[in-house]
Structure 1
Amino acid sequence: MVNLPIEYSDKKVTPFGGMSLMKRFLDSIGIREYMSTLELPDKGSNRSYDPVHIIESFWLSIWTGASRYIHADWLRYDTTLHDIFGWDKMPSQSTYSRFFGKFSQCRNTAVFPSLQHWFFSQLQVNDITLDIDSTVITRSGNQEGSAKGYNPLKRGRNSHHPLMAFVSQTRMVANAWLRPGNTADSSSCKAFLQETIEDVLADTRIGLVRADSGFYTEDILSYIQQQGLNYIIATRMYPNVKSEVYGIEDWIPICSGIDVSQMYFEHKGGKRRRYIVVRKEIEKRPKAGGKLLFDDLPGYRYSCYVTNLDLPLDAIWNLYNTRADCENRIKELKQDFGLENFCLKDFWATEASFRFIMVAYNIMSLFRHFALQSYNKATLATLKVYCFALGAWSVKHANKKVLKIALNAKRRPWLDGIFAKVESLRPPFQYSNA
């Protein structure tokens, strides 16, 4: 087997020439200009980086594959990428650490709801479905807020336990809070929901709220109804709920091994509400979700949902089941956006980077939906191969810099089409509810 001889060149080539698309897209949506109006940390000196530059560099690091702060240092030596974004240099790992370290609980509350509200005000989408979920982020250390709590995959390890709100129609994150790892499921849920509905989505019409059993409290249910919103929320199987489920006799089969029923029930001091109960036969549905509730009925798993919708039983169950797509969003955030690895010692610094990652995700989601319509569900890993990982270098032509992209002649019209699409995009971005 012949090995090619090795030679070296000083030519400044970037492997991410396709990031020129993202630079133009950021120009189109105007997010830099809005961020400059927020209460971001001030520059420490004239030689310091502009805060908006640091944030944009952080996003660029994530989009090109960084999953830790140390990875961001790689781009400091990519001068062609600097030329694409019009920068002289990029921040180092320590610059990011110092910058996010200036965020406090007060600053996070001032910056992120406003930023997310502005972002969603650039979209035309109504009657959205708001999905609320939580996840576990395992930590390898003793960072502030990391503690032993519910961690099904790595029991006994320290973790954080964030809350996240997703907009189903746009496949975006509406809001996200970081919480300590030993936090109870329902802790801070109402305050999180209030910020999401009243601040972030204040100008967006919400058609349905779906949430897991961590949001099953009388306080939260009453708040959602006071806001005039429809909801489907998974129910905790408290003893009094189990007793009511056990007494159900009328079951309606909707498919092989799955029956549904309903009941009206109220907790002590609570309102009477409608509950949808789903029973799954284990023999026919061995992988079905749900809980084994009764020793004398070992062949069934049960799930229960509370709702104020006046729809058929199977329709409500099917509506709730589509909520599972938010698990795909969480998976992509962890695998492609470094959600689990950008961690600092200070809790609020970690939350700041955590929430900026959400904005990076939303920008990419907006880009792939409107600029790459045939790839609007592709993950970031796929998009890097599809249109971002293009070798490129800059040259001077007619006294100005030009970006040269290495691309087969047959694919050039395709890339020209994407550039033309990006440069024609302007907010508001209209989503179809079809």
Structure 2
Amino acid sequence: MGERTKRPQKPIPEAIQSMIVDTMGGRVQVSWDKESAATPFGQLVFFAEFQKVSGLFDAWVEECPLIYNSPNAPKKRDVLGTWDLSILAGHRRYAHVTGLRSDGVSPQILGMSKIVSEDALRRALGKIPEGEGTEWMRKHLFKSAKAACDTPWILDIDTTIKTLFGHQQGAEVGYNPHKPGRPSHAYHAYWVGNLRLLLDVEVTAGNTTASNHAQPGLNRVLDTLSAEQRPYLVRGDCGFGNDAVIREMEARQQSYLFKLRQSPRVKRLLQREFTRRDWADAGQGWEGREDTIQLAGWQQSRRVVILRRLLKDHLIATQEHQGQLEFAFVDRRQTKVYEYAVLVTDIQEGILSIAQLYRDRADAENGFDELKNQWGWGGYTTRDLARCRLSARAVGLVYNWWSWYSRLAFPGSRREAITSRPLLLSAIGRSTKHAGQIHLFLTPMHAAQKKVERGIENIRRGLRIVRETAEQFLEHQPWDLLVSYIVAQITRSPWSPPGTFPALAGP
């Protein structure tokens, strides 16, 4: 017999070669798998179904005024899908898009061909005409929240600051309590109170934080609403308690509740009222009285509610005298120290109700905190102001979509993104395709898996009911049906489309 022929061995592919890694738990063989399709956002598939049933994402892509002339340019759906996915993942910079580029599952779920690069996304947003892009984003941002305006609601208006560290357009030095002296942008936001839904946001230069820069946007929001959708009242802090804003509200016959600044006439009013003893209970330790006042420049007197609360903690009073700091302990047995507020309003509610209505305004600060720290309002910065405005509204749009989605999953409570993302978005997803069918295998990472499953069950049941109802009642838009269903789940009331009997709309 002849000598056995030795066949050359094929080299092992680099992707299969194992690395021996010494860990605290022993040696582990590690290899890269660059062929399998996987994603860290496995539960995105359920949110994609939510977007498809509602029709929101498809309409947003279809009406986008982005136009490419080159045949090699990325598709509009790929650009906006990348933007949507980046915001949903909690990114704050365009550079973070690079961390999504190897996701082999999410593009397929959203109907995309690929995830575009950060440069392609920035350039695409720069090609959107500013005027058309503003109207496009306003329309869809307003559409995502206006369905909540069919029941009595409160419009909160407030301004927050976004600190800047470059040479961006509109980066001006103005009121900046967190970093005084740093340039910034001002975000004038208009909210559906307590639901934390964003109606619109105006991004302006950092030195335009005054109410006169926010009032045009407020007027535009009110003009967009029908008479039946108008808010019960417009609520704001002392920046909006001035004659110009109040006269505009009165001319529109729109109720309002604002706080007044400490002007000399307000201080004289306080001196007069503090001598009285017939203060009414205003809740949570507060006392209240009502009166009327006509400030300088006002053409008429208006109703005000004075609130005060006794400070019961241990207090120290300090004063600087000739460069030396002097202080004294406040004896609560001899001295009473109050915190106070003066509210101006035209509603006929009692003192207790007005005080509670204004205390509820503090929830708007939670919305700012969530959008700036858990979403992308603190980032997505470019040199030009136009793309900063587009990004601010896009973040608000995805934030509204996710807020409705999370309330569909858990109607009994509102969860911020830091809680709802791990519950409803995060899961290792591995996709396979066989015989023309796509299978997605999810590996949960959250310990509260039973809660996750209940939430997904609520979502799928709601979408099924709305889909079946929309097929029967073609005159109703799926998004309007879906919002009315979610509101019914929040209020724990029977659900039926407008003009139908509950028995016809399913359980």
TM-score in same-fold range (> 0.5): yes
- Summarize the Cα distance change of 1:190–1:8 in structure 2 as closer, same or farther, 3 Å threshold: same
Q: Which residue in 2 is equivalent to 1:423?
A: 463
Aligned partner of 2:165 among 140, 161, 174: 140
Note the C-alpha offset of 1:195.
Answer: 1.2
Tell me by how many angstroms 1:121 deviates: 4.6
Partner of 2:235: 210
Q: Which residue matches 1:390?
A: 427
Question: Which residue of the partner structure matches residue 415 of structure 2?
Answer: 378
Using the alignment, how far apart are the partners of 1:418 and 1:180 within structure 2? Answer: 43
Paired with 2:63 and 2:225, the residues of 1 have a C-alpha distance of 15
Partner of 1:281: 310
CA RMSD of aligned residues (A): 2.7
CA distance in 2, matches of 1:269, 1:366: 42
Q: CA deviation at 1:45?
A: 2.4
Larger Rg over CA atoms: 2
Q: Secondary structure of 1:77's match? A: coil
Question: What amino acid sits opposite 1:31 in the alignment?
Answer: L
3-state SS of 2:132 partner: helix
List aligned pairs for 1:181-220, cutoff 5 A: 181-199=206-224, 204-220=229-245
Per-residue deviation, residues 305-362 of structure 1 (Å, max 9, x unmatched): 1000112212211111011111111111112112111111001111111111100110
**Offset at 1:150?**
1.1
Q: Which amino acid aligns with 1:308?
A: D
Measure the CA separation in 2 of the matches of 1:213 and 1:415: 40
Cα distance in 1 for partners of 2:182, 2:122 equals 24
Distance 1:66 1:256 in 2: 39
1:312 & 1:423 partners in 2: Cα distance?
Answer: 42
Post-superposition offset of 1:211: 0.7
Paired residue for 1:365? 403
TM value normalised by structure 1: 0.89
Aligned residue runs from structure 1 range 220-369, under 5 A: 220-248=245-273, 249-251=275-277, 252=279, 254=281, 258-267=286-295, 268-284=297-313, 299-369=337-407
Indicate the residue corresponding to 2:141 in structure 1: 116
- Does residue 7 (structure 1) correspond to residue 35 (structure 2)? The answer is no
How far the C-alpha of 1:225 sits from its partner, in A, is 2.1
What are structure 2's unaligned runs of at least 5 residues?
A: 1-23, 317-334, 467-477, 492-507
Instruction: Check whether the contact 1:21–1:422 (CA below 8 A) recurs between aligned residues.
Output: no
Instruction: Report the equivalent of 2:102.
Output: 77
Distance in 2 of aligned mates of 1:262 and 1:414: 49
Structure with larger RCO (C-alpha < 8 A, sep 6+):
1
Counterpart Cα distance in 1 of 2:85 and 2:261? 42
Residue aligning to 1:291: none
CA distance in structure 2 between the aligned counterparts of 1:321 and 1:282, rounded to whole angstroms: 17
Q: Contact conserved, 1:17 with 1:390, CA < 8 A, in 2?
A: yes
CA contact (8 A) 1:215 1:233 kept: yes
Q: 1:162 to 1:61 in 2, by over 3 A?
A: same
The residue identity in structure 2 corresponding to 1:277 is I
Give the C-alpha shift of residue 298 in structure 1. Answer: 8.4
Change (3 A) 1:407 1:23: same
Give 1:281 shift: 2.6
Q: What is the letter of the counterpart of residue 421 of structure 2?
A: K
Question: Could you tell me how far apart the structure 1 residues matched to 2:129 and 2:293 are?
Answer: 43
Is the contact between residue 65 and residue 336 of structure 1 (CA under 8 Å) also seen in structure 2? yes
Once the 2 structures are TM-superposed, how far is the Cα of residue 200 of structure 1 from its aligned partner?
5.8
Q: CA deviation at 1:198?
A: 1.0
Answer whether contact 2:152 2:232 (CA < 8 A) is retained: yes
1:269-294 per-residue CA deviation (whole Å, 9 max, x = no partner) reads 4222101111233345979xxxxxxx
Aligned residue for 1:236, secondary structure, equals coil
Does structure 1 residue 177 correspond to structure 2 residue 170? no
Q: Which residue identity is paired with 1:316?
A: I
1:123 Cα offset (Å): 4.5
- CA separation of 1:269 and 1:232: change in aligned 2, threshold 3 A: closer
Residues 69 and 342 of structure 1 are in contact (CA less than 8 Å); yes or no, is this contact kept in structure 2? yes
Cα displacement (A) at 1:385? 1.6
Q: CA deviation at 1:414?
A: 4.1
State the number of aligned residues: 423
Q: Which amino acid aligns with 1:335?
A: N
Counterpart residue identity of residue 343, structure 2: Y
* Partner SS for 2:229: coil
Q: CA separation in 2, counterparts of 1:102 and 1:237?
A: 47
Instruction: After superposing the two structures, state which structure 1 stretch, 121-130 or 217-226, moved more.
Output: 121-130
Letter of the aligned partner of 1:320 in structure 2? Y
State the alpha-carbon separation in 1 of the partners of residues 369 and 453 from structure 2.
Answer: 34
The CA deviation at 1:35 is 2.3
Q: Determine helix, strand or coil for the equivalent of 2:266.
A: helix
How high is the TM-score relative to the length of structure 2?
A: 0.77
| Alignment check: 8 A CA contact 1:209 1:230 kept | yes
Distance 1:126 1:419 in 2: 23
Structure 2 CA distance for partners of 1:286 and 1:56, relative to 1, 3 Å: farther
Q: Secondary structure at the match of 1:179?
A: strand
| SS of equivalent residue, structure 1 residue 405 | strand
Answer whether contact 1:266 1:273 (CA < 8 A) is retained.
yes
Cα distance in 2, alignment partners of residues 17 and 123 from structure 1: 29
The answer as to whether partners of 1:147 and 1:159 remain within 8 angstroms in 2 is: yes
Q: Which residue type is aligned with residue 184 of structure 2?
A: S
**Secondary structure at the residue paired with 2:101?**
helix
Contact 1:113 1:200 in 2 (8 A): no
Query: How many angstroms does 1:120 deviate by?
Result: 3.4
Deviations 1:155-182 (A, max 9, x none): 1111111111110253211111112111
Please state how far the C-alpha of 1:38 moved relative to its aligned partner.
3.5
* Aligned 8 A contact 1:104 1:349 in 2: no
Q: Tell me, what secondary structure is at the counterpart of 1:145? A: coil
Shift of 1:415: 6.8
Determine the C-alpha separation between the residues in 2 that align with 1:285 and 1:326: 30
Q: Residue type of the partner of 1:399? A: G
The Cα of 1:400 is off from its aligned counterpart by 2.4
Matched residue type, 2:457: G
Structure-2 change in CA distance of 1:103 and 1:278 (3 Å): farther
